[in-house]
Chain A
Amino acid sequence: ELKVEQNPLFLSMQEGKNYTIYCNYSTTSDRLYWYRQDPGKSLESLFVLLSNGAVKQEGRLMASLDTKARLSTLHITAAVHDLSATYFCAVGETSYDKVIFGPGTSLSVIP
């Protein structure tokens, strides 16, 4: 059974600093997604990663995927307050087409 873990679960960081969120998963997968969720809102798709070594960047966020290590990272560069949200990684099962979510990382960027 596919399990998805994230760490840290809570992250408080100062504006301007860099940090990385990690996502580990337990079984082989061919796709990984990162989503953002603001309080009381639905999920917004950030990145889709489909192959080993895939790297995608959007603004201050960069996501990467290492399928051999079953690890994805979401790197935050020079954080700003607007990035405060909960970030979820989600991994697609290969046998079925459902996607399993991690527990989320609650990010708070403080001045």
Chain B
Amino acid sequence: DTGVSQNPRHKITKRGQNVTFRCDPISEHNRLYWYRQTLGQGPEFLTYFQNEAQLEKSRLLSDRFSAERPKGSFSTLEIQRTEQGDSAMYLCASSLGRQLVGTEAFFGQGTRLTVV
């Protein structure tokens, strides 16, 4: 499978616990994006990377959220001290970015987080 892969697909956690999600992008893609989607809403941008550099973080991303892409390949998104409001689908996407202007981002299946 050469698409964007996310793990785990589902995560249920107790409030206050830390969680970490992983995203493996399409191998030749240099751009990697994290979005959050709640029921009935469009995906909200969280952050993105070009190779290993994190280029922008949304104001939505509180200090409890951190993302890394240490070797410019896979990425992790960690949420510390989870709150019920963090319950959402976390989507990862990758693209070739400006190397090929206008290429679309390809999305993974997402990780559905439920905080109880």
A25 interface residue (CB < 8 Å to B): no
Instruction: Please give, as numbers and ranges, the residues of chain B lying within 8 Å of A104 by CB-CB distance.
Output: 40-42
Q: How many residues on A have C-beta within 8 angstroms of the other chain's C-beta atoms? A: 24
Which of A35, A42, A44, A98 lies in contact with B33, CB distance below 8 A?
A98
CA distance A97 to B101 in the complex (A): 10
B80 interface residue (CB < 8 Å to A): no
Instruction: Tell me if A's interface is mostly helix, strand, loop or mixed.
Output: strand
Instruction: Please give, as numbers and ranges, the residues of chain B lying within 8 Å of A90 by CB-CB distance.
Output: 42
A14 interface residue (CB < 8 Å to B): no
Interface positions of B from 63 to 95, Cβ below 8 Å from A: 91, 93
Instruction: Find the B residue at minimum CB distance from A47.
Output: B104
The range of chain B's interface size is 20 to 34
Q: In the complex where A41-B109, A48-B104 touch, is A100 in contact with B91 (Cβ < 8 A)? A: no
Produce 1/0 per residue, A24-41, CB < 8 A to B.
000000110101000001
The answer to whether A100 and B45 touch across the interface, beta carbons within 8 angstroms, is: yes
Instruction: Please give, as numbers and ranges, the residues of chain B lying within 8 Å of A102 by CB-CB distance.
Output: 42
Residues of A within 8 A of B (CB): 4, 30-31, 33, 35, 41-45, 48, 50, 88, 90, 92, 96-104
